[in-house]
Amino acid sequence: MARYYELRELESKAPKLFGIPTGTKLDEMFFKIEEEDGKFVKKPLGGLPYLSIMNLTGVPDSGKSVLAEQFAVTQANAGYRVLFVTVESPANFLYTALKHKSEAMGADFSKVEENIVVIDASESDELRENPKALLDTMAYAIREKKVTNVIIDSITGLYEHKEMMARQIVRQFFNFLKKWRQTGIFVSQKRSAQASESAEAAGGLAVAHIVDGTIVLDKKLVETRWDVSLYGLPIGSVLRTIRIDGCRLCGHDSRTWVFEITEFGTIDIIAPLSEFIKRRGRIGEEKQEKIEEVE
Amino acid sequence: MEVIAKPKGGNIDKMAEKVFMESINLLGGLKKLVEYRNLTWLPSLAEAAYVIVLKNEAFKTYGEIAKELGITEQTARNVATADEEKVKEYIEGRLEEKPNEHIAGGIAKLAYRKLKEEGRLEEEEVVIRHDEIEVLGIDWAVHVLVRIKGLDFPVGKEQLAERLEGMVIKGKNVEEILDKLEYPVKSPAELLHKIKLSLEE
């Protein structure tokens, strides 16, 4: 039977607002407002909001999986259990990626190994095609392994040939993680036809409208003299950006930031794009002038 | 790192079974089906129960359902889109003419909705009223259907003997019954009908 709540009844059920670290600068980009000496001050949350389900989206090779894996290693290394549902990459490849990341991040791999549970939906049609079977399997893993964080890479892979059902499927997984009190990341893929800096993912607005917040990753190929001069990067190089597109649980930095995927395969968020341009643009202009002098 | 590569937990077969049994309950129990000589509805009802569960719980497309159950896409669509309210009016005798809907589909949808609303579809235990069915002496139909699951019809005697081996139906060995049937048997419905006639001889 449907019931209603008095607002005060919800107080005991309301989740506390604190951060679940990702091991990247993103942790400082979510914040809450607190009163100190009669003044309101911004305080970094220190991670993704606790019990939030964040959508991590971007075009291919923009670094979504890298970020998701970094989050998994950070949490597992801190002693929290992580459930990693791999839909794209078979579990053995994920193992290698997590091992390398652990080494690069200076994490204790034996701890990481112990605290990550993987559901390999990439090679099981039943798990990939049947949301009910996957949800039941996830419930088993969460219950039996005392999981607190869940990553699904990618949620899009669960409805790739039935986009009409995208909202229904995403909603089911969202509600499921809420019910089981998990902090989660849904990696969602974007088609090249969709504006790369937007939050839209395959299946229309399915994911972004249901989840608590979206983080958009993007990459730009430096291909004109204008780009060289603007970004101060050599022609043919790639500029990667990351932006929190929205979060309904807490405040967040809304700027576009530049990041790099290091040679060890980890995310390093460098500076806001505007500052990066100011700093690097000057170098770019100098380089450009030299090129023109030579020509 | 523990890797789980196979599904654990929920079971589509069990859910379909629940929808099937609830459908029979909605119709007033198996006894009523027998009284009205509608025992041949059972395969159609079992099929409809699967269609509804595959559509709503496994999110299968009509094409996938058709392939899995060996039916046409149109049948899967007719089952899943049947107007259950009209079917309800019809089985309750409030509708004079038979509606243009897939009757078994409408019944299975009603049963699915009821189970879902009462939270019984997700329950671990399967609530099958075996005792009641056995008392009525018609449990054999359900057992036969379970045994022939996935069998491609028409079938010959050998295939049936292999599947139904060891069964005793109303005191008769199934081999004895199978000896008296005509082959090939075109569908599960025809098989149940022929066994029923053979038992009455």
For residue B6, tell me if it sits in a domain.
no
**Cross-chain residue pair B4–A132, CB shorter than 8 Å:** no
Average pLDDT over residues A117-146: 89
Q: Which of A86-95, A189-198, B24-33 has the lowest mean pLDDT?
A: A189-198
Percent of chain A with pLDDT over 70: 89
Of B59, B65, B67, B95, nearest to B79 by C-alpha is: B65
Chain B hits for A114, Cβ within 8 Å: 1
- ipTM > 0.85, yes or no: no
- For residues B91 and B143, membership in a common domain is answered with no
Tell whether B20 and B113 lie within a shared domain: yes
The answer as to whether B3 is a domain residue is no
- Per-residue confidence at A173, pLDDT binned at 50, 70, 90? very high
Q: Are residues B143 and B80 in the same domain?
A: no
Residues of A in contact with B8 (CB under 8 A): 136-137, 140-141
Confidence band, pLDDT 50/70/90 cuts, at residue B125: very low
pLDDT of residue B32: 74
Q: Are residues B137 and B85 in the same domain?
A: no
Q: Are both B22 and B106 inside the same structural domain? A: yes
* Residue after which a domain boundary falls, among B54, B83, B118: B118
Most confident stretch, A201-205, B31-35, B103-107: B103-107
Q: How far is A91 from chain B (nearest CA, A)?
A: 7
Domain housing B180: 130-200
Residue A260 near residue A252, CB atoms below 8 Å: no
Question: Do the chains contact at B4 and A118, CB–CB below 8 Å?
Answer: yes
Residue B197, pLDDT above cutoff 80 = yes
Please check whether residue B146 lies inside any domain of the structure.
Answer: yes
Whether residue B5 is contained in a domain is answered as no
Among the partner-chain residues A124, A132, A165, the one whose CB lies closest to the CB of B5 is: A124
Supply the pLDDT for residue A134.
92
**In contact, B185 and B164? CB cutoff 8 Å:** no
Find, in chain B, the residue whose alpha carbon is nearest to that of A117.
B2
Assigned domain for B123 exists: no
The more confidently predicted of residues A295 and A101 is A101
Interface touch B3/A124, C-beta < 8 Å? no
B2 contacts A91? CB cut-off 8 A: no
- What pLDDT was estimated at residue B39? 66
Residue A193: predicted pLDDT: 60
Q: By the CB < 8 Å criterion, does A41 face chain B?
A: no
Residue B105 has pLDDT above 50, yes or no: yes
Q: How many domains does chain B have?
A: 2
In DSSP notation, chain A reads ------GGGGTTTSPP--EE--SSTHHHHEEEEEEETTEEEEEE-SSEETT-EEEEEESTTSSHHHHHHHHHHHHHHTT--EEEEESSS-HHHHHHHHHHHHHHHT--HHHHHHHEEEEE-SS-HHHHH-HHHHHHHHHHHHHHHT--EEEEETSGGGSTT-GGGHHHHHHHHHHHHHHTT-EEEEEEE--TTS-TTS---SSTTHHHHHSSEEEEEEEEE--SHHHHHHH---TT-EEEEEEEEEESSSEE--SEEEEEE-TTS-EEEEEEHHHHHHHHHHHHHHHHHHHHHH-
State pLDDT tens for residues B126-143.
444 555 555 556 667 777
Comparing A1 with A101, which gets the higher pLDDT?
A101
> Which chain A residue's Cα is nearest to B10?
A136
Nearest to B59 among A91, A98, A169 (CB): A169
A168 to chain B: closest CA residue? B59
Task: Please tell me if residue A260 touches chain B, with a CB cutoff of 8 Å.
Answer: no
Chain-chain contact of A130 with B59 (C-beta, under 8 angstroms): yes
CA-based nearest distance B8→chain A, Å: 5
Q: Tens digit of pLDDT for each residue in A222-273?
A: 999 998 888 888 999 999 999 999 899 999 999 999 999 998 889 999 999 9
Measured between CB atoms, does B119 come within 8 Å of chain A? no
* Interchain contact, B8 vs A169, CB within 8 Å: no
Question: What's the average model confidence in pLDDT over B17-39?
Answer: 80
User: By CA distance, what is A113's nearest residue in B?
Assistant: B1
Q: Where is the domain boundary, B60, B87, B118? A: B118
Task: Tell me, yes or no, whether B147 lies in a domain.
Answer: yes
- Are B36 and B98 found together in one domain? yes
pLDDT value of residue B127:
43
- Residues of chain A found within 8 Å of residue B61, distances taken between Cβ atoms: 162
pLDDT at A23: 92
Question: Is residue B32 located within the same domain as residue B97?
Answer: yes
Looking at the domain assignment, is residue B54 inside a domain? Answer: yes
Q: Are residues B112 and B174 in the same domain?
A: no
Asked if B10 lies within 8 A of A129 by C-beta distance, the reply is no
The average confidence (pLDDT) of chain A is: 87
Q: How many A/B residue pairs have CB atoms within 8 Å?
A: 73
Cβ neighbours for A127, distance < 8 A, ≥ 6 positions apart: A119, A120, A121, A133, A134, A137, B6, B7
Across the interface, do A117 and B60 touch by the CB < 8 Å criterion? no
Same-domain check for residues B66 and B142: no
Taking the CB of residue B10, how many other CB atoms lie within 10 A of it? 21
Q: Are residues B33 and B108 in the same domain?
A: yes
CA distance B56 to chain A (A): 9
Residue where a domain stops, chosen among B118, B148, B176 = B118
Other beta carbons within 10 angstroms of residue B54's beta carbon come to 24
Q: Which residue of A has its CA nearest to B56?
A: A132
| Within-domain flag for B160 | yes
CA distance A256 to chain B (A): 35
Kindly list the residues from chain A whose CB atom is less than 8 angstroms away from the CB atom of residue B58.
129-133
pLDDT at residue A40 in the model: 86
Which domains does chain A show, CATH number per domain? 16-191+200-289 (3.40.50.300)
Looking at the partner chain, which of B3, B9, B59 has a beta carbon nearest the beta carbon of A165? B59
- pTM of the predicted structure, to 2 decimals: 0.70
Is pLDDT above 90 for B99? no
Asked whether residue B46 falls in the same domain as residue B88, the answer is yes
| Mean pLDDT calculated for residue range A267-290 | 76
| Average pLDDT along chain B | 82
Q: Minimum mean pLDDT among A4-13, A59-68, B66-75, B153-162: which range? A: A4-13
Could you read off the pLDDT of A180-206 as tens digits, one per residue?
Answer: 999 999 999 876 666 666 666 655 567
Report the residue of chain A nearest B118, measured CA to CA: A1
pLDDT value for A81: 96
Task: List pLDDT tens digits, range A61-78.
Answer: 899 999 999 999 999 999
Residue B12 near chain A (CB below 8 Å): yes
Judge: A140–B4 Cβ closer than 8 Å, yes or no: yes
Q: Are residues B17 and B110 in the same domain?
A: yes
Q: Verify whether the Cβ–Cβ distance B6 to A116 is below 8 Å.
A: no
Whether B58 sits inside 8 A of A98 (CB atoms) is: no
Q: How confident is the model at residue A27 (pLDDT cuts 50, 70, 90)?
A: very high
| Among A86, A190, A92, A194, CA closest to A141 | A86
pLDDT reading at B6 higher than 50 = yes
Which member of A95, A131, A132 has the closest CB to residue B1? A95
